[in-house]
């Protein structure tokens, strides 16, 4: 008998699922319509197929927006009967993190990809003009394939897509809880969001990244359209601005991801050569190469096949990158990979479809392509831009080969393991490629298309090479890079050369050759990015040097060097380089367990700077993971994270526990054996970590919740405790009520001390104070690692400058495109029957 479940909100999920089916169907309808609009002859053309294609795409756009509204409605109202809402959100999350819950799971990521694809498609309907029909056919194909990823249909044994509107009871199958019609009464909250994702970068990084991912389809669509319609040369000019846009946005998204990793993960840096991180950069490297070769062809007529091949390959690589991240194949080698949602073969088929389109068009149109027989001049710009594109592709190839080891093992049944020191291997290989690429970004700026004044070229290039060599020698010595291998010296030299050479071109552009400004600015930004990355990663300095002799490392951080991890007890300052650091306690805020660490910079006995860092610790069954906190300076960063702690709080209310305890407290076992001291007012009691002074006796003390009569005696011992340069005041109480004697001790948890006023000795004019000290092993402590990253702002500033350069180049190429569009409007496309 079917169970009539109570309290479920099924309408938003049903409506959302309807929009998913409608989005897929409308994309398929648009694809078919645009295909027939493209292939119909001019004589038969009445634009009816074109209108139907537009209607289908607009309906797809509306459906995607409808999906998004339904999903947010579910997340916002905490409808945990839906698996997606239960898996990735909780009631404690603020609204802005609920928004980021959209893309927390795979289904939301595909929805975001589809949304940007819809926006870009509508831009193309408006702007593509004579290219609309074939280009939009490809866009609609992309939307239809993406739509299958979230369909969530079960046809026989075949599972097609994973829906974000899947009910929790359907996702968990035969779990006993779902045998109750009122199961929702037992689900009080969702599992919540991974604490490392609760960062403002995760609100803005995925939308930017997915816009970059989605934009890769546009130059792909233009290349397909050009080859399909045999308009071999015409597609290049309109594809270049979209290629530049993809480079700009995807590159920005990747760097945002690095910044998120730097601020939220314990990489000790901004890039850990994680396999999914590597996969994200595959299409960007090839897209940058593609744009440069497209520009070469546009200006010289050379390298047509390479331009078309790289433009098509970029989008195929994007699907391969998605396969690596989403199929589960990298699940054991990457902290970023999604688990498999049963989409393995769907992702393979999607990639195969676009790969097949690429191969078919390149092979079938091979003999018709405008391939020049004449070789490029060695001293021409197009020759060295082509060489630069080759090295970008080689850089990508090395990343693909090593990152794909789990794929090779899966296909061939092998057990190849990644390199023992993969980071070192990546750095050496990619550093070598960076040297060549950075040099070429400078050299090519002094060359001209087709023909160059060789004498002037060598003089100008030689001057800037010598200047860059001198400056890089100073920089290498000043920053300590001389301790690294020779490859990294060359990276510094090549990067500075690129900055100086392109600075010369930028100065010329300001004087009147403004069309050169975009490339110069982007190359300057790239050079600065390399300089910042090289210095920050190569000369980072661990400042938390352990000189205490005690070594503590958690199991999850067993690869850490204990000598680089500092032990801090609660409220006990420790000198760390030029800082005095103090662990001031911990705070639970939502899902975050924050540890408060105060930094003081002391010079000539005076505090010249104070700040607090609050790294976050996530405790789990598999151990602990830590999210760092960073103090940003203009020329350096102080980066801090926790590698071990004995502070575990299951409930935030522990912090509000009452500190008043009567004699015989059960928690006395948490302290060493007490020591009794008979003292008079003004006397001092020494103890292990400081001194205790009896300042006065308070005969008028009031007892909370205990009424006192005139015959009762209550006396408070007003004590002042001084330890580690700080003073604490407390007042244990001695009470005689009726014929009974009580004492109420006071605990100073921050310093691991408990004090009791245990006796009055009237004949001596003294009182007895019992001192309980917490053993060192019971005191709260953290083990922290602090790393200084010098000049890392060059990396972030270089990124911004590079993006500005891309934007300037887009404006230039769009301006150049207007005459080409005007000419294209006057021509009819040549369609071969």
3-state secondary structure string across 266-280: CCCCCCCCCHHHHHH
Domain co-membership, 230 together with 286: yes
657 has pLDDT over 50: no
What is the rounded distance in angstroms from the CA atom of residue 4 to the CA atom of residue 671?
Answer: 57
819 has pLDDT over 80: no
What is the rounded distance in angstroms from the CA atom of residue 615 to the CA atom of residue 642?
Answer: 7
> What is the share, in percent, of the chain residues with pLDDT greater than 70?
89
Q: Tell me the pLDDT of the chain averaged across its residues.
A: 86
* DSSP letter, residue 167: B
CB 713 within 8 A of CB 731: no
At residue 457 the predicted structure's pLDDT band, cuts being 50, 70 and 90, is: confident
At residue 651 the predicted structure's pLDDT band, cuts being 50, 70 and 90, is: very low
Lowest mean pLDDT among 102-116, 502-516, 545-559, 587-601: 545-559
At residue 649 the predicted structure's pLDDT band, cuts being 50, 70 and 90, is: very low
At residue 272 the predicted structure's pLDDT band, cuts being 50, 70 and 90, is: low
> What is the share, in percent, of the chain residues with pLDDT greater than 90?
48
- Domain span at residue 764 reads 653-779
Distances (CA, A) of 811 to 242, 298, 609, 665: 11, 17, 46, 76
User: Does some domain include residue 55?
Assistant: yes
Q: pLDDT tens digits, residue range 766-793?
A: 999 999 988 766 678 888 999 999 999 9
Helix (H, G, I), strand (E, B) or coil at 768: strand
CB-based contacts of 50: which residues, under 8 Å, 6+ apart?
Answer: 33, 34, 37, 132, 133
pTM for the model? 0.83
Domain co-membership, 358 together with 398: yes
Q: What is the pLDDT of residue 591?
A: 64
- Please say which residue of 393, 418, 443 terminates a domain: 418
Closest CA to 261 of 325, 338, 334: 334
CB-based contacts of 573: which residues, under 8 Å, 6+ apart?
Answer: 580, 581, 582, 600, 724, 725
User: Does some domain include residue 619?
Assistant: yes
Q: What is the pLDDT of residue 557?
A: 54
**Strand duo 616-620 + 623-627: pairing:** antiparallel
CB-based contacts of 445: which residues, under 8 Å, 6+ apart?
Answer: 501, 502, 504, 505, 516, 519, 520, 523
661 has pLDDT over 80: no
Q: What mean pLDDT is predicted for residues 336-346?
A: 73
At residue 271 the predicted structure's pLDDT band, cuts being 50, 70 and 90, is: confident
621 has pLDDT over 70: no
Q: Which has more pLDDT, 375 or 484?
A: 484
663 has pLDDT over 50: no
* 3 state SS for 361-405: HHHHCHHHCCCCCCCCCCCCHHHHHHHHHHHHHHHHHHHHHHHCH
At residue 223 the predicted structure's pLDDT band, cuts being 50, 70 and 90, is: very high
Closest CA to 10 of 102, 95, 73: 73
Helices 304-326 and 381-403: crossing angle in degrees, nearest 10, is 20
| Strand ranges (E), 485-633 | 541-542, 566-569, 574-576, 579-589, 592-603, 606-613, 616-620, 623-627, 629-632
User: Does some domain include residue 628?
Assistant: yes
Biggest CA-to-CA distance, the chain: 122
Q: What is the pLDDT of residue 652?
A: 36
Domain co-membership, 447 together with 392: no
Q: Which has more pLDDT, 707 or 486?
A: 486
Q: What is the pLDDT of residue 550?
A: 59
Q: What is the pLDDT of residue 153?
A: 87
213 has pLDDT over 80: yes
Q: What mean pLDDT is predicted for residues 68-72?
A: 95
> Could you count the other beta carbons within 10 Å of the beta carbon of residue 207?
18
User: Does some domain include residue 732?
Assistant: yes
30 has pLDDT over 70: yes
Domain co-membership, 404 together with 427: no
Lowest mean pLDDT among 214-228, 456-470, 648-662: 648-662
Q: pLDDT tens digits, residue range 550-587?
A: 565 555 455 567 788 888 888 888 889 889 999 988 88
For the chain, percent helix, then strand, then coil, each to nearest 5? 55, 20, 30
Domain co-membership, 157 together with 210: no
Distances (CA, A) of 247 to 215, 287, 728: 9, 6, 59
User: Does some domain include residue 690?
Assistant: yes
Question: How distant is the alpha carbon of residue 89 from its chain centre?
Answer: 19
281-290, 374-383, 508-517: which has the highest mean pLDDT? 281-290
Domain co-membership, 402 together with 452: no
At residue 660 the predicted structure's pLDDT band, cuts being 50, 70 and 90, is: very low
Q: What is the pLDDT of residue 476?
A: 94
At residue 695 the predicted structure's pLDDT band, cuts being 50, 70 and 90, is: very high
What is the rounded distance in angstroms from the CA atom of residue 33 to the CA atom of residue 57?
Answer: 10
Domain co-membership, 338 together with 463: no
Q: What is the pLDDT of residue 336?
A: 57
Q: What is the pLDDT of residue 248?
A: 95
- Please say which residue of 171, 192, 213 terminates a domain: 192
At residue 820 the predicted structure's pLDDT band, cuts being 50, 70 and 90, is: low
Domain co-membership, 500 together with 604: no
Q: What is the pLDDT of residue 340?
A: 63
Domain co-membership, 642 together with 659: no
CB 296 within 8 A of CB 307: yes
User: Does some domain include residue 824?
Assistant: no
User: Does some domain include residue 506?
Assistant: yes
Q: What is the pLDDT of residue 405?
A: 85
Q: pLDDT tens digits, residue range 730-771?
A: 999 998 888 788 888 898 877 888 999 999 998 888 999 999
304 has pLDDT over 80: yes
Q: pLDDT tens digits, residue range 710-728?
A: 788 889 999 999 987 778 9
Domain co-membership, 12 together with 131: yes
Q: pLDDT tens digits, residue range 165-197?
A: 999 998 887 788 888 899 898 898 888 887 667
332 has pLDDT over 80: no
At residue 545 the predicted structure's pLDDT band, cuts being 50, 70 and 90, is: confident
State the burial class of residue 306 (Cβ atoms within 10 Å of its Cβ: 0-12, 13-18, 19+).
buried
User: Does some domain include residue 477?
Assistant: yes
Number of domain units in the chain: 5
Domain co-membership, 172 together with 214: no
Q: What is the pLDDT of residue 48?
A: 92
Domain co-membership, 627 together with 773: no
- Please say which residue of 177, 192, 207 terminates a domain: 192
669 has pLDDT over 70: no
| β-bridge mates for residue 733, sequence order | 716, 744
């Amino acid at each position: 008998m079917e169970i009539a479940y109570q309290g479920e909100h099924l309408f938003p999920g049903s409506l959302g699922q309807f929009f998913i089916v409608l989005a897929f169907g409308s994309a398929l309808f648009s694809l078919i319509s645009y295909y027939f609009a493209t292939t119909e002859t001019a004589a038969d053309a009445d634009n009816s197929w074109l209108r139907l294609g537009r209607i289908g795409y607009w309906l797809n756009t509306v459906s995607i927006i409808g999906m998004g509204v339904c999903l947010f409605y579910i997340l916002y109202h905490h409808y945990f009967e839906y698996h997606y809402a239960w898996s990735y959100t909780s009631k404690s999350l603020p609204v802005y993190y609920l928004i980021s819950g959209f893309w927390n799971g795979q289904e939301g990521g595909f929805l975001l990809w589809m949304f940007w694809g819809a926006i870009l498609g509508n831009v193309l309907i408006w702007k593509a003009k004579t290219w609309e029909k074939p280009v939009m056919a490809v866009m609609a194909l992309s939307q239809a394939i993406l739509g299958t990823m979230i369909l969530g249909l079960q046809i026989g044994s075949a599972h097609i897509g994973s829906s974000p509107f899947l009910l929790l009871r359907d996702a968990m199958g035969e779990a006993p809880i779902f045998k109750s019609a009122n199961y929702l009464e037992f689900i009080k909250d969702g599992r919540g969001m991974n604490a490392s994702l609760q960062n403002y970068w995760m609100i803005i990084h995925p939308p930017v990244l997915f816009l970059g991912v989605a934009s890769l389809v546009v130059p792909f669509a233009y290349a397909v359209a050009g080859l399909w319609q045999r308009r071999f040369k015409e597609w290049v000019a309109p594809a270049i601005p979209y290629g530049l846009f993809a480079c700009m946005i995807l590159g920005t998204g990747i760097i945002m991801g690095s910044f998120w990793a730097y601020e939220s993960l314990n990489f000790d840096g901004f890039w850990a050569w994680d396999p999914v991180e590597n996969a994200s950069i595959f299409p960007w490297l090839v897209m940058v190469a593609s744009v440069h070769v497209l520009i070469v062809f546009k200006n010289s007529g050379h390298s047509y096949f390479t331009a078309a091949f790289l433009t098509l390959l970029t989008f195929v690589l994007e699907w391969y990158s998605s396969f690596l991240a989403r199929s589960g194949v990298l699940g054991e080698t990457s902290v970023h990979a999604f688990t498999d949602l049963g989409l393995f073969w769907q992702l393979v088929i999607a990639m195969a479809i676009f790969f097949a389109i690429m191969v078919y068009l390149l092979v079938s149109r091979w003999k018709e392509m405008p391939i020049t027989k004449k070789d490029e001049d060695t001293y021409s710009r197009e020759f060295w831009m082509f060489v630069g594109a080759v090295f970008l592709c080689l850089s990508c190839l090395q990343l693909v080969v090593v990152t794909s080891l789990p794929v090779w093992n899966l296909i061939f049944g092998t057990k190849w393991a990644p390199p023992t020191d993969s980071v070192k291997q990546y750095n050496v290989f990619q550093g070598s490629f960076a040297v060549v690429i950075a040099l070429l970004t400078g050299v090519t700026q002094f060359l001209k298309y087709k023909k160059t004044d060789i004498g002037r070229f060598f003089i100008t290039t030689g001057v800037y090479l010598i200047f860059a060599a001198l400056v890089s020698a100073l920089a290498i010595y000043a920053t300590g890079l001389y301790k690294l291998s020779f490859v990294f010296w060359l990276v510094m030299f090549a990067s500075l050369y690129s900055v100086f050479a392109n600075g010369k071109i930028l100065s010329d552009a300001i004087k009147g050759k403004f069309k050169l400004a975009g490339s110069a600015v982007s190359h300057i930004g790239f050079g600065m990015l390399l300089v910042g990355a090289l210095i920050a990663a190569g000369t980072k300095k661990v400042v938390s040097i352990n000189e205490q002799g005690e070594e503590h490392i958690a199991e999850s951080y067993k690869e850490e060097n204990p000598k680089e991890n500092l032990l801090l007890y609660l409220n006990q300052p420790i000198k760390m380089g030029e800082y005095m650091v103090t662990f001031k306690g911990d705070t639970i805020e939502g899902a975050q367990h924050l540890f408060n660490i105060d930094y003081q910079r002391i010079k000539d006995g005076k505090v010249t700077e104070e700040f607090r860092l609050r790294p976050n610790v996530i405790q789990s069954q598999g151990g602990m993971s830590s999210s760092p906190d960073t103090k940003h300076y203009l020329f350096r960063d102080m980066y801090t994270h926790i590698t071990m702690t004995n502070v575990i709080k299951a409930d935030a209310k522990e912090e509000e526990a009452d500190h008043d305890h009567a004699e015989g407290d059960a928690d006395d076992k948490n302290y060493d054996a007490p020591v009794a001291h008979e003292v008079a007012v003004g006397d001092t009691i020494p103890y292990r970590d400081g001194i205790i002074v009896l300042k006065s006796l308070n005969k008028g003390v009031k007892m909370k919740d205990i009424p006192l009569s005139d015959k009762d005696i209550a006396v408070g011992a007003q004590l002042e405790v001084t330890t580690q340069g700080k003073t604490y005041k407390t007042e244990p109480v001695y009470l005689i009520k009726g014929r009974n004697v009580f004492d109420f001790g006071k605990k100073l948890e921050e310093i691991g001390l408990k004090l009791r006023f245990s006796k009055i000795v009237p004949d001596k004019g003294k009182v007895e104070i019992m001192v309980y000290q917490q053993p060192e092993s019971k005191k709260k402590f953290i083990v922290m690692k602090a790393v200084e990253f010098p000049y890392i702002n060059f990396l972030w500033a270089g990124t911004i400058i590079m993006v500005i350069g891309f934007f300037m180049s887009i404006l230039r190429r769009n301006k150049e495109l207007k005459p080409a569009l005007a000419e294209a409007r006057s021509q009819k496309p040549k369609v071969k029957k």
